[in-house]
Amino acid sequence: MEKAEKESLEILRRIEACFKGQLLGELLHAKSTHPTKQFWTKQQDEMLHYLKQTHLLSYGQLAQHINEQTQSTFTAKQCQQHWTRVIQPGIVKGRWSQEEDHMLKMLITDQQLSCRVASKVLTTRTSQQIWKRCRDMGIDALQ
């Protein structure tokens, strides 16, 4: 190997080492953009329920208020999902009745509604519950 080739290889190795070190440093100091997993307390559930029922606040405002009062870090999306999937009054959790199954089949198969639209008719179930039930029943449905 010629001297020029050796020097070029050495320069490339140094550049690669610097680049790897820089990437490693960036990875070690990078902050995740995803919020950390948090569990809702009974106090936070009650606060979300009260604020949602009595105030016309956006989910961002709800999250800000709950976070200030309970030293938590919930996002607007987490508040919206927790309300919709867990706390919202009237949402049934648990087994599906035969009447619900029949209505679901009619809405999805006969009327060809999406799960989201079907949840507006079956107001006791969320679109996520409807989608999972369709999947369990082998019904092809749009989410």
Burial class (CB in 10 A: 0-12, 13-18, 19+), 7: exposed
pLDDT number for residue 99: 94
Other C-beta atoms closer than 10 Å to the C-beta of 74 total 21
Q: Is the pLDDT of residue 51 over 90?
A: yes
Output the six-digit token pair for 107.
């809405």
pLDDT in tens, 52-107: 999 999 999 999 999 999 999 999 999 999 998 899 999 998 999 999 999 999 99
Burial class (CB in 10 A: 0-12, 13-18, 19+), 87: middle
pLDDT number for residue 29: 55
How would residue 3 be classed by pLDDT, with cut points 50, 70 and 90? confident
Separation CA 48–CA 30 (nearest Å):
32
For residue 124, report the phi and psi dihedrals to the nearest 5 degrees.
-90, 0
Output the six-digit token pair for 85.
């999937």
CA-closest candidate to residue 72, choices 36, 33, 30: 36
Burial class (CB in 10 A: 0-12, 13-18, 19+), 49: middle
Q: Are 118 and 100 in contact (CB under 8 A)?
A: no
Q: Is the pLDDT of residue 49 over 80?
A: yes
pLDDT number for residue 42: 95
